[in-house]
Amino acid sequence: MSCKVVTITSGKGGVGKTTTTANLGVALAQLGKKVVMIDADIGLRNLDIVMGLESRIVYDLVDLVEGRAKLRQAMIRHKQFPDLFLIPSAQSRDKMAVSPADMVQITDQLRLEMDFVLIDSPAGIERGFRNAVAPADEILIVTNPEVSAVRDADRIIGLLEASKKSQPRLILNRVKADMVKKGEMLSPEDVVDLLSIKLIGIVPEDENVVPSSNAGEPVTMMANSRAGAAYKEIARRLTGEDVPLTSIEEKQGFMKRMSRLFGGK
Amino acid sequence: MQEQAIIIKGFRDGLLVTLDPNEVWQELVDHLANRIDENSTFYTSGGGRVTLDVGARPVTRHELGSINAMLDRRGLMLVSVMTESSTTLDAAAALDVRANLTNQAVTPASAAKEIEISSEEDGSSGVMIRKTLRGGRTVRSQGHVVIWGDVNPGAEIIAAGDIIVWGRLRGNVHAGANGDESAIVCALDMMPTQLRIGGYITVAPADNRRKPRPETAFIRNRQIVVEAWK
Protein backbone atom coordinates (compact mmCIF):
# COMPACT_ATOMS: atom_id res chain seq x y z
CA MET A 1 0.00 0.00 0.00
CA SER A 2 1.45 3.39 -0.88
CA CYS A 3 2.02 5.92 1.87
CA LYS A 4 -0.46 8.66 2.71
CA VAL A 5 0.69 11.90 4.33
CA VAL A 6 -2.11 13.38 6.41
CA THR A 7 -1.89 16.82 8.04
CA ILE A 8 -4.15 17.62 10.98
CA THR A 9 -4.78 21.35 11.27
CA SER A 10 -7.47 23.76 12.49
CA GLY A 11 -6.64 27.46 12.56
CA LYS A 12 -7.91 27.85 16.09
CA GLY A 13 -5.78 26.62 18.96
CA GLY A 14 -6.95 24.16 21.56
CA VAL A 15 -9.59 22.39 19.48
CA GLY A 16 -7.95 18.95 19.62
CA LYS A 17 -5.35 18.66 16.85
CA THR A 18 -2.70 17.03 19.01
CA THR A 19 -5.21 14.75 20.71
CA THR A 20 -6.55 13.77 17.30
CA THR A 21 -3.08 13.11 15.86
CA ALA A 22 -2.11 10.96 18.82
CA ASN A 23 -5.33 8.96 18.77
CA LEU A 24 -5.38 8.47 15.02
CA GLY A 25 -1.77 7.28 15.26
CA VAL A 26 -2.73 4.68 17.83
CA ALA A 27 -5.89 3.67 15.97
CA LEU A 28 -4.01 3.17 12.71
CA ALA A 29 -1.32 1.19 14.52
CA GLN A 30 -4.06 -0.98 16.04
CA LEU A 31 -5.16 -1.69 12.46
CA GLY A 32 -1.64 -2.95 11.72
CA LYS A 33 -0.42 0.09 9.79
CA LYS A 34 3.11 1.52 9.96
CA VAL A 35 2.71 5.08 11.19
CA VAL A 36 4.99 8.04 11.88
CA MET A 37 3.59 11.06 13.69
CA ILE A 38 5.47 14.35 13.28
CA ASP A 39 4.98 17.21 15.73
CA ALA A 40 5.29 20.30 13.53
CA ASP A 41 4.63 22.79 16.34
CA ILE A 42 8.19 24.06 16.73
CA GLY A 43 8.69 25.86 20.01
CA LEU A 44 5.55 24.59 21.76
CA ARG A 45 5.76 20.86 21.48
CA ASN A 46 2.97 18.70 22.91
CA LEU A 47 2.60 15.50 20.95
CA ASP A 48 5.40 13.81 22.90
CA ILE A 49 3.64 14.47 26.23
CA VAL A 50 0.29 13.17 25.04
CA MET A 51 1.99 10.02 23.73
CA GLY A 52 3.96 9.52 26.96
CA LEU A 53 7.27 9.67 25.09
CA GLU A 54 8.85 12.87 26.39
CA SER A 55 11.47 11.13 28.51
CA ARG A 56 12.77 9.31 25.44
CA ILE A 57 13.51 12.33 23.26
CA VAL A 58 17.13 12.48 22.16
CA TYR A 59 16.83 14.06 18.71
CA ASP A 60 14.01 16.19 17.34
CA LEU A 61 12.67 17.52 14.03
CA VAL A 62 15.07 20.47 13.97
CA ASP A 63 18.06 18.17 14.62
CA LEU A 64 16.85 16.14 11.65
CA VAL A 65 16.46 19.18 9.37
CA GLU A 66 19.82 20.59 10.36
CA GLY A 67 21.63 17.29 9.80
CA ARG A 68 22.58 16.50 13.38
CA ALA A 69 20.56 13.30 13.31
CA LYS A 70 19.58 10.67 10.80
CA LEU A 71 15.93 9.83 10.22
CA ARG A 72 15.91 6.64 12.32
CA GLN A 73 17.63 8.40 15.20
CA ALA A 74 14.89 11.02 15.41
CA MET A 75 12.08 8.46 15.25
CA ILE A 76 10.96 7.29 18.70
CA ARG A 77 9.31 3.87 18.61
CA HIS A 78 6.26 3.31 20.83
CA LYS A 79 6.78 0.49 23.31
CA GLN A 80 3.36 -1.01 22.85
CA PHE A 81 3.03 -0.53 19.08
CA PRO A 82 6.31 -1.37 17.37
CA ASP A 83 5.13 0.13 14.09
CA LEU A 84 4.16 3.49 15.61
CA PHE A 85 6.80 6.21 15.70
CA LEU A 86 7.04 9.84 16.77
CA ILE A 87 9.35 12.56 15.48
CA PRO A 88 9.11 15.15 18.23
CA SER A 89 9.34 18.88 17.79
CA ALA A 90 12.03 21.14 19.22
CA GLN A 91 11.24 23.06 22.35
CA SER A 92 13.77 25.84 22.04
CA ARG A 93 13.56 27.03 18.43
CA ASP A 94 10.79 28.64 16.40
CA LYS A 95 8.87 28.01 13.21
CA MET A 96 11.52 29.58 10.96
CA ALA A 97 13.94 26.72 11.75
CA VAL A 98 12.04 24.47 9.35
CA SER A 99 10.83 25.26 5.83
CA PRO A 100 8.05 23.75 3.72
CA ALA A 101 10.75 22.22 1.50
CA ASP A 102 12.35 20.54 4.52
CA MET A 103 9.03 18.96 5.44
CA VAL A 104 8.57 17.62 1.92
CA GLN A 105 12.05 16.17 1.94
CA ILE A 106 11.51 14.37 5.25
CA THR A 107 8.13 12.94 4.26
CA ASP A 108 9.53 11.81 0.90
CA GLN A 109 12.02 9.66 2.79
CA LEU A 110 9.35 8.34 5.15
CA ARG A 111 7.05 7.41 2.26
CA LEU A 112 9.42 4.60 1.33
CA GLU A 113 8.75 2.60 4.48
CA MET A 114 5.56 3.86 6.10
CA ASP A 115 1.83 3.49 5.46
CA PHE A 116 0.87 6.78 7.09
CA VAL A 117 2.63 9.97 8.09
CA LEU A 118 0.51 12.10 10.42
CA ILE A 119 1.58 15.71 10.82
CA ASP A 120 0.35 17.66 13.86
CA SER A 121 0.07 21.27 12.68
CA PRO A 122 0.42 24.24 15.03
CA ALA A 123 -2.45 26.72 15.36
CA GLY A 124 -2.45 29.82 13.14
CA ILE A 125 -2.02 30.54 9.47
CA GLU A 126 1.64 31.48 9.22
CA ARG A 127 4.86 29.58 8.65
CA GLY A 128 4.14 26.67 11.02
CA PHE A 129 0.84 25.95 9.28
CA ARG A 130 2.45 26.23 5.85
CA ASN A 131 5.24 23.86 6.91
CA ALA A 132 2.69 21.31 8.08
CA VAL A 133 0.49 21.34 4.97
CA ALA A 134 3.28 21.47 2.38
CA PRO A 135 3.74 17.67 2.06
CA ALA A 136 0.11 16.66 2.68
CA ASP A 137 -1.82 14.24 0.45
CA GLU A 138 -4.83 14.69 2.68
CA ILE A 139 -5.72 17.43 5.15
CA LEU A 140 -8.04 17.01 8.12
CA ILE A 141 -9.50 20.13 9.71
CA VAL A 142 -10.38 19.76 13.38
CA THR A 143 -12.97 22.12 14.79
CA ASN A 144 -15.31 22.43 17.75
CA PRO A 145 -19.03 23.21 17.44
CA GLU A 146 -18.35 26.75 18.58
CA VAL A 147 -18.46 30.01 16.66
CA SER A 148 -14.81 31.15 16.90
CA ALA A 149 -13.46 27.71 16.04
CA VAL A 150 -15.71 27.44 12.98
CA ARG A 151 -14.76 30.95 11.85
CA ASP A 152 -11.07 30.06 11.97
CA ALA A 153 -11.70 26.75 10.21
CA ASP A 154 -13.41 28.66 7.39
CA ARG A 155 -10.38 30.90 7.03
CA ILE A 156 -8.06 27.91 6.86
CA ILE A 157 -10.22 26.19 4.26
CA GLY A 158 -10.15 29.41 2.22
CA LEU A 159 -6.36 29.49 2.35
CA LEU A 160 -6.15 25.83 1.33
CA GLU A 161 -8.54 26.39 -1.57
CA ALA A 162 -6.51 29.36 -2.77
CA SER A 163 -3.34 27.27 -2.81
CA LYS A 164 -5.09 24.47 -4.65
CA LYS A 165 -4.57 21.83 -1.98
CA SER A 166 -7.01 18.96 -2.29
CA GLN A 167 -10.34 19.23 -0.49
CA PRO A 168 -9.87 18.90 3.24
CA ARG A 169 -12.22 16.80 5.40
CA LEU A 170 -13.69 17.81 8.72
CA ILE A 171 -13.45 16.32 12.19
CA LEU A 172 -16.00 17.84 14.53
CA ASN A 173 -14.53 17.40 17.99
CA ARG A 174 -16.01 17.70 21.49
CA VAL A 175 -19.64 17.44 20.53
CA LYS A 176 -22.13 17.18 23.38
CA ALA A 177 -25.21 15.55 21.91
CA ASP A 178 -27.56 16.70 24.67
CA MET A 179 -26.51 20.34 24.29
CA VAL A 180 -27.03 20.12 20.54
CA LYS A 181 -30.52 18.71 21.07
CA LYS A 182 -31.36 21.54 23.44
CA GLY A 183 -30.11 24.07 20.91
CA GLU A 184 -27.33 25.21 23.22
CA MET A 185 -24.52 24.09 20.94
CA LEU A 186 -23.99 24.40 17.19
CA SER A 187 -25.21 21.23 15.52
CA PRO A 188 -22.99 19.32 13.11
CA GLU A 189 -25.40 20.46 10.40
CA ASP A 190 -24.84 24.14 11.25
CA VAL A 191 -21.09 23.60 11.06
CA VAL A 192 -21.09 21.66 7.79
CA ASP A 193 -23.55 24.17 6.34
CA LEU A 194 -21.09 26.97 6.84
CA LEU A 195 -17.86 25.14 6.03
CA SER A 196 -19.19 23.15 3.06
CA ILE A 197 -16.68 20.34 3.31
CA LYS A 198 -17.16 16.61 3.86
CA LEU A 199 -17.22 15.29 7.39
CA ILE A 200 -14.86 12.41 8.20
CA GLY A 201 -15.92 12.00 11.82
CA ILE A 202 -17.66 13.37 14.88
CA VAL A 203 -15.85 12.90 18.19
CA PRO A 204 -18.02 13.30 21.28
CA GLU A 205 -16.91 15.16 24.38
CA ASP A 206 -15.31 12.53 26.63
CA GLU A 207 -14.09 13.14 30.16
CA ASN A 208 -11.50 10.39 29.75
CA VAL A 209 -9.46 12.54 27.36
CA VAL A 210 -7.78 14.82 29.93
CA PRO A 211 -6.61 12.08 32.31
CA SER A 212 -5.37 10.10 29.31
CA SER A 213 -3.28 13.03 28.08
CA ASN A 214 -1.88 13.48 31.55
CA ALA A 215 -0.97 9.80 31.72
CA GLY A 216 0.53 9.79 28.23
CA GLU A 217 -1.85 7.09 26.99
CA PRO A 218 -4.25 8.25 24.28
CA VAL A 219 -7.92 7.34 24.95
CA THR A 220 -8.01 5.02 21.97
CA MET A 221 -5.92 2.62 24.04
CA MET A 222 -8.76 2.32 26.58
CA ALA A 223 -11.38 -0.35 26.14
CA ASN A 224 -14.55 1.68 26.43
CA SER A 225 -14.07 5.30 25.57
CA ARG A 226 -16.58 7.03 23.31
CA ALA A 227 -13.95 9.33 21.88
CA GLY A 228 -11.68 6.34 21.28
CA ALA A 229 -14.42 4.57 19.36
CA ALA A 230 -14.90 7.65 17.18
CA TYR A 231 -11.17 7.90 16.47
CA LYS A 232 -11.09 4.23 15.50
CA GLU A 233 -13.84 4.87 12.96
CA ILE A 234 -12.02 7.87 11.53
CA ALA A 235 -8.87 5.77 11.20
CA ARG A 236 -10.79 3.17 9.23
CA ARG A 237 -12.22 5.86 6.95
CA LEU A 238 -8.68 7.16 6.40
CA THR A 239 -7.66 3.74 5.11
CA GLY A 240 -10.42 4.05 2.53
CA GLU A 241 -12.95 1.84 4.26
CA ASP A 242 -16.55 2.95 3.88
CA VAL A 243 -17.67 3.08 7.50
CA PRO A 244 -21.30 3.95 8.15
CA LEU A 245 -22.07 6.05 11.17
CA THR A 246 -22.47 4.10 14.39
CA SER A 247 -24.67 5.52 17.04
CA ILE A 248 -23.11 8.13 19.27
CA GLU A 249 -26.64 9.24 19.95
CA GLU A 250 -29.57 6.85 20.25
CA LYS A 251 -32.32 9.06 18.85
CA GLN A 252 -33.35 8.06 15.32
CA GLY A 253 -33.72 11.58 14.00
CA PHE A 254 -30.23 12.62 15.00
CA MET A 255 -28.67 9.57 13.35
CA LYS A 256 -30.54 10.05 10.10
CA ARG A 257 -29.44 13.68 9.81
CA MET A 258 -25.83 12.69 10.58
CA SER A 259 -25.65 10.06 7.87
CA ARG A 260 -26.65 12.67 5.30
CA LEU A 261 -23.68 14.79 6.31
CA PHE A 262 -21.27 11.99 5.50
CA GLY A 263 -22.29 12.31 1.89
CA GLY A 264 -24.37 9.24 1.52
CA LYS A 265 -26.85 6.82 2.73
CA MET B 1 19.23 42.44 -16.79
CA GLN B 2 20.03 45.76 -15.19
CA GLU B 3 20.53 45.85 -11.47
CA GLN B 4 17.66 48.35 -11.13
CA ALA B 5 15.12 45.92 -12.60
CA ILE B 6 14.58 44.51 -9.11
CA ILE B 7 14.79 46.78 -6.09
CA ILE B 8 14.57 45.21 -2.63
CA LYS B 9 14.09 47.34 0.49
CA GLY B 10 13.23 46.68 4.09
CA PHE B 11 9.55 47.40 4.63
CA ARG B 12 7.28 47.04 7.68
CA ASP B 13 8.24 43.62 9.05
CA GLY B 14 9.59 42.25 5.80
CA LEU B 15 10.61 43.30 2.31
CA LEU B 16 9.33 45.54 -0.45
CA VAL B 17 10.26 44.14 -3.85
CA THR B 18 9.77 46.52 -6.78
CA LEU B 19 9.81 44.91 -10.21
CA ASP B 20 10.53 46.73 -13.47
CA PRO B 21 7.30 46.87 -15.51
CA ASN B 22 9.01 46.05 -18.80
CA GLU B 23 11.30 43.09 -18.20
CA VAL B 24 10.13 39.57 -19.04
CA TRP B 25 8.25 38.20 -16.02
CA GLN B 26 9.91 34.79 -15.80
CA GLU B 27 13.37 36.37 -16.03
CA LEU B 28 12.48 38.70 -13.18
CA VAL B 29 11.31 35.76 -11.07
CA ASP B 30 14.49 33.78 -11.77
CA HIS B 31 16.69 36.77 -11.09
CA LEU B 32 14.89 37.48 -7.81
CA ALA B 33 15.25 33.83 -6.82
CA ASN B 34 19.00 34.05 -7.39
CA ARG B 35 19.34 37.21 -5.33
CA ILE B 36 17.47 35.65 -2.44
CA ASP B 37 19.50 32.43 -2.60
CA GLU B 38 22.80 34.32 -2.64
CA ASN B 39 21.95 35.94 0.64
CA SER B 40 19.23 33.74 2.07
CA THR B 41 19.76 34.24 5.80
CA PHE B 42 19.56 37.99 5.31
CA TYR B 43 16.31 37.83 3.36
CA THR B 44 14.54 35.29 5.51
CA SER B 45 15.58 36.61 8.90
CA GLY B 46 13.32 39.64 8.99
CA GLY B 47 10.03 37.78 9.25
CA GLY B 48 9.76 36.75 5.62
CA ARG B 49 6.81 38.91 4.61
CA VAL B 50 7.08 40.22 1.06
CA THR B 51 5.19 43.11 -0.48
CA LEU B 52 5.45 43.18 -4.26
CA ASP B 53 5.18 46.43 -6.25
CA VAL B 54 4.50 45.64 -9.90
CA GLY B 55 3.49 49.13 -11.00
CA ALA B 56 1.39 49.40 -14.12
CA ARG B 57 2.17 45.90 -15.42
CA PRO B 58 -0.89 43.65 -15.73
CA VAL B 59 0.11 40.43 -13.98
CA THR B 60 -1.88 37.28 -14.61
CA ARG B 61 -2.89 34.81 -11.96
CA HIS B 62 -0.47 32.27 -13.40
CA GLU B 63 2.43 34.73 -13.24
CA LEU B 64 1.59 35.81 -9.70
CA GLY B 65 1.24 32.15 -8.75
CA SER B 66 4.74 31.41 -10.04
CA ILE B 67 6.38 34.17 -8.01
CA ASN B 68 4.33 33.13 -4.97
CA ALA B 69 5.54 29.53 -5.30
CA MET B 70 9.14 30.64 -5.75
CA LEU B 71 8.99 32.76 -2.59
CA ASP B 72 7.25 30.02 -0.64
CA ARG B 73 9.97 27.50 -1.49
CA ARG B 74 12.43 29.90 0.12
CA GLY B 75 10.39 30.36 3.27
CA LEU B 76 9.07 33.79 2.29
CA MET B 77 5.44 34.74 2.16
CA LEU B 78 3.79 37.08 -0.35
CA VAL B 79 1.48 39.16 1.79
CA SER B 80 0.53 42.07 -0.41
CA VAL B 81 0.74 43.40 -3.97
CA MET B 82 0.87 47.05 -4.97
CA THR B 83 -0.33 47.65 -8.51
CA GLU B 84 -1.91 50.14 -10.87
CA SER B 85 -3.63 47.43 -12.89
CA SER B 86 -6.99 45.85 -12.26
CA THR B 87 -5.78 42.64 -13.95
CA THR B 88 -3.20 42.28 -11.22
CA LEU B 89 -5.82 43.10 -8.62
CA ASP B 90 -7.96 40.22 -9.83
CA ALA B 91 -4.95 37.89 -9.96
CA ALA B 92 -4.16 38.75 -6.35
CA ALA B 93 -7.76 38.22 -5.27
CA ALA B 94 -7.76 34.82 -6.97
CA LEU B 95 -4.69 33.84 -4.94
CA ASP B 96 -6.11 35.33 -1.77
CA VAL B 97 -3.32 37.90 -1.47
CA ARG B 98 -4.09 41.43 -0.37
CA ALA B 99 -3.68 44.00 -3.11
CA ASN B 100 -3.72 47.77 -3.22
CA LEU B 101 -4.45 49.90 -6.27
CA THR B 102 -1.83 52.59 -6.00
CA ASN B 103 -3.35 55.07 -8.41
CA GLN B 104 -6.94 54.93 -7.30
CA ALA B 105 -7.84 53.68 -3.86
CA VAL B 106 -11.39 52.80 -2.86
CA THR B 107 -12.12 54.85 0.26
CA PRO B 108 -15.33 53.75 1.94
CA ALA B 109 -15.48 56.84 4.09
CA SER B 110 -15.30 59.25 1.15
CA ALA B 111 -18.50 61.21 0.51
CA ALA B 112 -17.63 62.50 -2.99
CA LYS B 113 -19.27 60.87 -6.04
CA GLU B 114 -16.37 59.33 -7.94
CA ILE B 115 -18.26 57.33 -10.57
CA GLU B 116 -21.06 58.17 -12.98
CA ILE B 117 -23.82 55.61 -13.22
CA SER B 118 -24.25 54.70 -16.88
CA SER B 119 -27.59 54.98 -18.60
CA GLU B 120 -30.10 52.28 -17.75
CA GLU B 121 -30.17 50.89 -21.24
CA ASP B 122 -26.42 50.32 -21.39
CA GLY B 123 -25.99 48.96 -17.90
CA SER B 124 -22.79 49.36 -15.96
CA SER B 125 -19.85 47.07 -15.33
CA GLY B 126 -18.94 44.88 -12.39
CA VAL B 127 -17.27 41.67 -11.38
CA MET B 128 -18.72 38.21 -11.06
CA ILE B 129 -17.32 35.60 -8.70
CA ARG B 130 -18.57 32.07 -8.87
CA LYS B 131 -17.61 30.70 -5.53
CA THR B 132 -18.31 31.06 -1.86
CA LEU B 133 -16.26 33.78 -0.20
CA ARG B 134 -14.73 32.31 2.91
CA GLY B 135 -13.79 34.24 6.03
CA GLY B 136 -10.76 36.47 5.54
CA ARG B 137 -11.38 37.26 1.86
CA THR B 138 -12.01 40.78 0.68
CA VAL B 139 -13.40 41.68 -2.74
CA ARG B 140 -13.15 45.26 -3.96
CA SER B 141 -14.65 46.71 -7.11
CA GLN B 142 -15.18 50.11 -8.68
CA GLY B 143 -18.29 48.60 -10.26
CA HIS B 144 -20.85 46.08 -9.04
CA VAL B 145 -20.14 42.74 -7.42
CA VAL B 146 -22.11 39.55 -8.02
CA ILE B 147 -21.34 36.45 -6.00
CA TRP B 148 -22.69 33.06 -6.99
CA GLY B 149 -22.20 31.35 -3.65
CA ASP B 150 -22.27 32.36 0.00
CA VAL B 151 -20.47 35.19 1.69
CA ASN B 152 -19.26 33.70 4.97
CA PRO B 153 -18.80 35.64 8.20
CA GLY B 154 -15.39 37.31 8.11
CA ALA B 155 -15.58 37.89 4.34
CA GLU B 156 -15.96 41.43 3.05
CA ILE B 157 -17.22 43.06 -0.17
CA ILE B 158 -16.59 46.72 -0.92
CA ALA B 159 -18.19 47.99 -4.13
CA ALA B 160 -18.77 51.40 -5.57
CA GLY B 161 -21.91 49.92 -7.16
CA ASP B 162 -24.45 47.27 -6.17
CA ILE B 163 -23.85 43.97 -4.48
CA ILE B 164 -25.79 40.85 -5.32
CA VAL B 165 -25.29 37.58 -3.48
CA TRP B 166 -26.91 34.53 -5.01
CA GLY B 167 -26.56 32.65 -1.75
CA ARG B 168 -26.35 33.39 1.94
CA LEU B 169 -24.96 36.76 2.91
CA ARG B 170 -23.35 36.44 6.33
CA GLY B 171 -20.29 38.66 6.00
CA ASN B 172 -19.72 42.41 5.69
CA VAL B 173 -20.84 44.35 2.64
CA HIS B 174 -20.50 47.96 1.65
CA ALA B 175 -22.35 49.01 -1.51
CA GLY B 176 -22.10 52.54 -2.92
CA ALA B 177 -18.72 52.72 -1.22
CA ASN B 178 -17.80 55.95 -3.02
CA GLY B 179 -20.93 57.65 -1.75
CA ASP B 180 -23.65 56.41 -4.11
CA GLU B 181 -26.77 56.20 -1.99
CA SER B 182 -28.86 54.63 -4.74
CA ALA B 183 -26.83 51.41 -4.50
CA ILE B 184 -28.56 48.22 -3.43
CA VAL B 185 -27.64 44.97 -1.75
CA CYS B 186 -29.55 41.78 -2.57
CA ALA B 187 -29.20 38.29 -1.18
CA LEU B 188 -31.15 35.05 -1.16
CA ASP B 189 -30.64 34.92 2.59
CA MET B 190 -29.89 38.29 4.11
CA MET B 191 -27.97 37.80 7.38
CA PRO B 192 -25.04 40.20 7.07
CA THR B 193 -22.77 40.85 10.03
CA GLN B 194 -22.68 44.45 8.82
CA LEU B 195 -24.40 46.11 5.87
CA ARG B 196 -23.45 49.56 4.58
CA ILE B 197 -24.82 51.59 1.68
CA GLY B 198 -23.10 54.89 1.02
CA GLY B 199 -22.62 56.43 4.43
CA TYR B 200 -25.33 54.38 6.18
CA ILE B 201 -24.82 51.27 8.25
CA THR B 202 -27.00 48.55 9.71
CA VAL B 203 -26.80 45.00 11.05
CA ALA B 204 -29.02 41.98 10.53
CA PRO B 205 -31.73 41.46 13.14
CA ALA B 206 -30.93 38.82 15.73
CA ASP B 207 -33.50 36.19 14.78
CA ASN B 208 -31.79 33.04 13.48
CA ARG B 209 -33.72 29.94 12.51
CA ARG B 210 -36.14 31.88 10.37
CA LYS B 211 -36.61 30.67 6.79
CA PRO B 212 -34.29 32.22 4.25
CA ARG B 213 -36.02 34.49 1.73
CA PRO B 214 -34.67 36.75 -1.01
CA GLU B 215 -34.45 40.39 0.05
CA THR B 216 -33.12 43.71 -1.19
CA ALA B 217 -31.64 46.42 0.98
CA PHE B 218 -31.70 50.06 -0.13
CA ILE B 219 -31.90 53.56 1.27
CA ARG B 220 -35.27 55.18 1.73
CA ASN B 221 -35.94 58.24 3.90
CA ARG B 222 -32.34 58.42 5.03
CA GLN B 223 -32.16 54.90 6.41
CA ILE B 224 -31.49 51.40 5.17
CA VAL B 225 -34.66 49.46 4.47
CA VAL B 226 -34.90 45.75 3.65
CA GLU B 227 -37.76 44.39 1.60
CA ALA B 228 -38.60 40.86 0.57
CA TRP B 229 -38.68 39.98 -3.11
CA LYS B 230 -42.21 39.45 -4.22
CATH number of the domain that A125 lies in?
3.40.50.300
The answer to whether residue B89 scores a pLDDT higher than 80 is yes
Classify the phi-psi angles of A52: left when phi > 0, otherwise alpha if psi is within -120 to 50, otherwise beta: left
Task: State the nearest Cα–Cα gap between B10 and chain A, in angstroms.
Answer: 19
What are chain B's domains? 3-101 (3.30.750.24), 126-228 (2.160.20.70)
Please tell me the predicted confidence (pLDDT) of residue A263.
61
Task: State the nearest Cα–Cα gap between A9 and chain B, in angstroms.
Answer: 17
Please tell me the predicted confidence (pLDDT) of residue B184.
97
In this prediction the ipTM stands at: 0.77
Task: State the nearest Cα–Cα gap between A212 and chain B, in angstroms.
Answer: 35
**8 A C-beta contact, residue A38 and residue A67:** no
A95 secondary structure, DSSP code: G
- Our CA angle for B126, B131, B132, nearest 5°, is 110
The values of phi and psi at residue A122, to 5°, are -75, 170
Average pLDDT (B217-225) is: 94
Is A100 at the interface with chain B, CB within 8 A?
yes
Q: Which chain A residue has its CA at the smallest distance from B92's CA? A: A162
Is B46 at the interface with chain A, CB within 8 A?
no
The minimal CB distance from A155 to the residues B48, B72, B135 is found for: B135
> Which among B135, B17, B114, B70 has a CA at the least distance from the CA of A162?
B135
Coil, strand or helix at B29: helix
Q: Which residues of A touch B94 (CB under 8 A)?
A: 162
pTM: 0.71
pLDDT in tens, chain A (265 residues): 689 999 999 999 999 999 999 999 999 999 999 999 999 999 889 999 999 999 999 999 999 999 999 999 999 999 999 999 999 999 888 888 999 999 999 999 999 999 999 999 999 999 999 999 999 999 999 999 999 999 999 999 999 988 878 799 999 999 998 998 898 899 998 999 899 999 999 999 999 999 999 999 999 999 889 999 999 999 999 999 988 875 444 333 455 566 667 764 3
The answer to whether residue B85 scores a pLDDT higher than 90 is no
Task: State the nearest Cα–Cα gap between B147 and chain A, in angstroms.
Answer: 16
Q: Which residue has the higher pLDDT, B9 or B111?
A: B9
| Cross-chain Cβ contact B136/A101 below 8 Å | no
Is B77 at the interface with chain A, CB within 8 A?
yes
Is A194 at the interface with chain B, CB within 8 A?
yes
Strongest mean pLDDT among A184-193, B33-42, B187-196: B187-196
The minimal CB distance from A154 to the residues B48, B77, B134 is found for: B134
Q: Which residues of A touch B48 (CB under 8 A)?
A: 96, 127
Domain that holds residue A240: 4-261
Q: Is B201 exposed, middle or buried (0-12, 13-18, 19+ CB in 10 A)?
A: exposed
Instruction: Enumerate the H helices of chain A as residue ranges.
Output: 17-30, 47-50, 61-65, 71-74, 100-111, 127-133, 147-162, 177-181, 188-195, 209-215, 226-238, 252-261
Is B204 at the interface with chain A, CB within 8 A?
no
How many angstroms separate the CA atoms of A121 and A52, rounded?
A: 19
**8 A C-beta contact, residue B195 and residue B185:** yes
Domains of chain A: total: 1
Q: Which residue has the higher pLDDT, B37 or A34?
A: A34
